[in-house]
Amino acid sequence: MTGQTAQAAARRSQRAFTLADVAATALFAWEGARLAAEAGLDLFGIMVVGCVSSLVGGITRDLLLGDTPPFAFRSPSRLLAALVGSGVALVLAFLGAPAPDELIAVLDALGLALFAVTGAQKALDHGSNGLVVVILGTLTAVGGGIARDLLLGAVPSVLTSSVYASAAAAGALVMLIVVRLTARPAVGMTAGFVVCAGLRLAAIAFDWQLPHLVVR
Amino acid sequence: MTGQTAQAAARRSQRAFTLADVAATALFAWEGARLAAEAGLDLFGIMVVGCVSSLVGGITRDLLLGDTPPFAFRSPSRLLAALVGSGVALVLAFLGAPAPDELIAVLDALGLALFAVTGAQKALDHGSNGLVVVILGTLTAVGGGIARDLLLGAVPSVLTSSVYASAAAAGALVMLIVVRLTARPAVGMTAGFVVCAGLRLAAIAFDWQLPHLVVR
Amino acid sequence: MTGQTAQAAARRSQRAFTLADVAATALFAWEGARLAAEAGLDLFGIMVVGCVSSLVGGITRDLLLGDTPPFAFRSPSRLLAALVGSGVALVLAFLGAPAPDELIAVLDALGLALFAVTGAQKALDHGSNGLVVVILGTLTAVGGGIARDLLLGAVPSVLTSSVYASAAAAGALVMLIVVRLTARPAVGMTAGFVVCAGLRLAAIAFDWQLPHLVVR
């Protein structure tokens, strides 16, 4: 009975996790598609950039881990989430609806944190060394945004502005350390998630910036 | 005797197919190298961009399917076709020969359609789901052009203008549907080819554009 | 006794080789990070571009060979070298120290040559055909610089200017020919290294440029 309860709890937790991941995928697609619409791309280009924004981080991680075809291609759920998110952006842009920028920024911070810890966890599962765990966690979280900005002809915003990629790296690092200390992935992922989302939200609230070094 | 005739026919059909694929590779290389020459790249850069234009779509498809080394690297034929196509562009640019733009546009539509259906077919052979089949067919057809434009510092033209990538996606989708219905790949590839090439040629003839949504 | 001496010599040679490779990685990272600092990226972006500059060439080669996870991810040494090189660039930029541009150009030529011949050798070991050997040798040497320039929003300098990628290709080609003729990889790598570094240094000294073909 207790065993069954534990199993049911694990299933519920797995389902909540998948739901969060699908939601984050749709959100990242929405953000990417909005930027593509603003950049003047056509309908097809908008959908492509939306999908790229939400999926390329995880796909690149999987290619680097040698885990092909990438997870996003193995079932339609992530692709559908990306298409739906991009489609919502299209419709809202068509209707001229003002975007709830603050809400999006908060949700984006949560998506960033989720992708950072899940990417780091996957690298850890594949036996990667600590540096690679942090790099792949960060790449999972920001790779889509980098590809999006390259497609739109811009220097990737994650490399130029504010605490974004560094928050993802901090979250992945905290996850790694906690997992090494406690051997409990769930605890590590929770700690990493809180650190990444907290740093990112604080950076938005207090307008934190990392220093720039402009050399003559 | 009949079996031998059928085998000979299959061999001829296979040979015609390979020839078309090699020709499309050379054509895409020619187009890419021309754009690179116009963009002021040096001799080496022109050859590189020509090869990238014609090969990166298929290479990316193969990486995503986990089929490495990519097909283009397994025999020299595609690489040689890309080098020859780029070399022809170099010589013609050097001679200042006017490019037969309309002929190129028509041949490009045929190459696009060929790459879209062969890419989709390969994804199908690897057991990909329907969304992935359409995505990889499209990526095979337009991936080289996207990489070319990124190298030349431009927003990829396939994302901003006219019915190009969407024609490739339509061709891949039609192929998928016909194969699902008839279980005959050759019929599906023919149908997808006709739809993609037809859409693209019609888009050129009638100057079709997908709508853009420029948000304030 | 002689066997032990030979083994010790092989170990020393292997160690010298690894040391050179680590040093070249750090140097490429330093150069990339300097450019990123000049481009106005923040601290995190500078470190990222430094690592990308030094590692993406080899990582792309390994992905294309199907050798995953890529070599750079299998032990921390290359990643650490990239981080240290980027960090040195950061500190020097912060101190406003003038960069020893001529020394860097010479060291860069040596790093280019080392990466070109090691990349070509690895492709050869994987049974690639001759064209692929030259392409992957070149890509190992210049792939990081291409990715760096794309991230910084510039047309890759290796495609537009001077004898750089073509020196790498020449070095890889010479290595290939010498290995085919002599069946001695060490001889081939030495010859390829000398040709690549020599061409590159001569190009700097005499300001060699490949022709450009600017078409109307």
What pLDDT is attached to residue B215? 52
Quick check: C76 contacting A, CB < 8 Å?
A: yes
pLDDT at res. A215: 52
How does the average pLDDT of chain A come out, rounded? 90
Asked if C49 is an interface residue toward chain A (Cβ–Cβ < 8 A), one would say: yes
Q: Which of B131, B150, B161 sits opposite A150 (nearest CB)?
A: B150
pLDDT in tens, C171-210: 999 999 999 999 898 999 999 999 999 999 999 998 888 8
Three-state SS at A75: coil
Task: Kindly identify which residue of chain A lies nearest to residue B159, measuring between CA atoms.
Answer: A45
Asked if C64's CB is within 8 angstroms of B70's CB, the reply is yes
- Across the interface, whether the CB atoms of C40 and A214 are under 8 A apart is answered yes
Residue that the structure tokens 């604080």 belong to: A202
Tell me the mean pLDDT in the region A27-52. Answer: 93
pLDDT in tens, B115-146: 999 999 999 999 999 999 999 999 999 999 99
- pLDDT, one tens digit per residue, over C52-80 is 999 999 999 999 999 999 999 999 999 99
Q: Does B34 touch chain C (CB under 8 A)?
A: yes
Q: Which residues of A touch C153 (CB under 8 A)?
A: 153-155
Cβ–Cβ contact B146 with C under 8 A:
no
- Provide the shortest C-alpha distance from residue A35 to chain C (in Å): 17
What gap in Å lies between CA C208 and CA C202, rounded to an integer?
Answer: 8
pLDDT of residue B27 exceeding 90, the answer is: yes
* β-sheet bridge partners, residue C212: B42
Nearest CA to A83 out of B176, B60, B171, B131 is that of: B131
State whether C159 and B94 contact (CB < 8 Å).
no
CB spacing of A76 vs B150 below 8 angstroms:
no
Q: Is A141 on the interface with C (CB under 8 A)?
A: no
Q: Do B213 and A94 touch (CB under 8 A)?
A: yes
Q: Does B166 touch chain A (CB under 8 A)?
A: yes
- Chain centroid to Cα A215, Å, comes to 32
Chain B residue numbers touching A76 (CB-CB < 8 A): 129-131
What is the percent of chain A where pLDDT is above 90?
67
Q: Under an 8 A CB cutoff, do A215 and C44 touch? A: no
The minimum CA-CA distance between C60 and chain A, rounded to whole Å, is: 9
Q: Return d(Cα A206, Cα A175) in angstroms, integer.
A: 24
- pLDDT tens per residue, range C150-172: 999 999 988 887 789 999 999 99
The whole-angstrom distance between B161's CA and the closest CA on chain A is 7
Whether chain C has a CB inside 8 Å of the CB on A146: the answer is: yes
Average pLDDT over residues C97-110: 86
Q: What residues form DSSP beta bridges with A42?
A: B212
Q: What is the pLDDT of residues A186-213, one digit of tens each?
A: 999 999 999 999 999 999 998 888 877 7
Q: Is the pLDDT of residue C215 over 70?
A: no
Residues of C in contact with B80 (CB under 8 A): 131
Contacts of B37 in chain C (CB under 8 A): 213-215
Kindly give the residue spans of alpha helices, DSSP state H, lying in chain A.
2-38, 43-65, 71-74, 76-95, 101-125, 130-151, 157-160, 165-182, 185-206
Q: What pLDDT shows up at residue A216?
A: 43
Residue of C nearest to A215 (CA): C38
**What is the share, in percent, of chain B residues with pLDDT greater than 90?**
67
Q: What's the pLDDT tens digit per position in A103-129?
A: 888 999 999 999 999 999 999 999 999
Predicted local confidence at residue A72, as pLDDT: 95
Nearest to A160 among C42, C68, C96 (CB): C42
User: For chains B and C, what is the number of CB pairs under 8 angstroms?
Assistant: 88
For A19, residues 6+ apart whose C-beta sits below 8 A from its C-beta are none
Cα–Cα distance between B55 and B80 in angstroms, integer? 11
Confidence of residue A2 (pLDDT cuts 50, 70, 90): low
Residues of B in Cβ contact (< 8 Å) with C146: 151
Please indicate whether, in this complex, the C-beta atoms of A146 and C150 are within 8 angstroms of each other: no
Contact C151 A154 (CB under 8 A): no
Q: Could you say which of B46, B79, B151 has the minimum Cβ distance to residue C213?
A: B46
Going by pLDDT thresholds of 50, 70 and 90, the confidence category of residue B191 is very high
Closest CA to A43 of B144, B158, C18, B191: B158
Mean pLDDT of B49-63: 96
Pick from C41, C68, C83: CB nearest A64: C68
Which chain A residues are Cβ-neighbours of C93 within 8 angstroms?
A: 213, 215
Q: How many Å apart are CA A144 and CA A115, to the nearest integer?
A: 11
Chain C residues in contact with B43 (beta carbon < 8 A): 166, 210-213
- pLDDT above 70 as % of chain B: 97
Q: Do B96 and C215 touch (CB under 8 A)?
A: yes
Average pLDDT score over residue span A167-173: 96
Which amino acid, residue C101? D
Percent with pLDDT over 70 in chain C: 97
Asked whether the beta carbons of residue B210 and residue A44 sit closer than 8 angstroms, the reply is: yes
Residue B5 binned pLDDT confidence (cut-offs 50, 70, 90): confident
Closest-CA distance, A118 to chain C, in angstroms, reads 18
List the single residue in A128, A166, A215 with the smallest CB-CB distance to C93: A215
Measured CA to CA, the distance from residue C183 to residue C120 in angstroms comes to: 14
B216 pLDDT band (50/70/90 cuts)? very low
Once rounded to an integer, what is the mean pLDDT over residues B140-163?
90
pLDDT of residue A11 exceeding 60, the answer is yes
Q: Which residue of B has its CA nearest to C127?
A: B74
- According to the model, what pLDDT value does residue C24 have? 92
Chain B residue numbers with beta carbons less than 8 Å from the beta carbon of C64 are 59, 63, 68-70, 73
> CB contact, 8 Å: C169 with chain B?
yes
Q: Select from B98, B157, B33 the least CA-distant residue to C213.
A: B33
Chain C 89-118, residues with CB within 8 Å of chain A CB atoms: 90, 93-94, 96
Of A42, A69, A75, Cβ closest to residue B212: A42
Report the percentage of chain C scoring pLDDT > 90: 66
Q: Is B76 on the interface with C (CB under 8 A)?
A: yes
pLDDT at position A1 is: 47
C135 closest CA partner among C155, C118, C119: C119
Count Cβ atoms below 10 Å from residue A154 Cβ, excluding itself: 14
Confidence of residue A214 (pLDDT cuts 50, 70, 90): low
B167 or A212, greater pLDDT: B167
Residues in A closer than 8 angstroms to C29, CB to CB, are: none
CB-CB neighbors (< 8 A) of C46 in chain A? 213
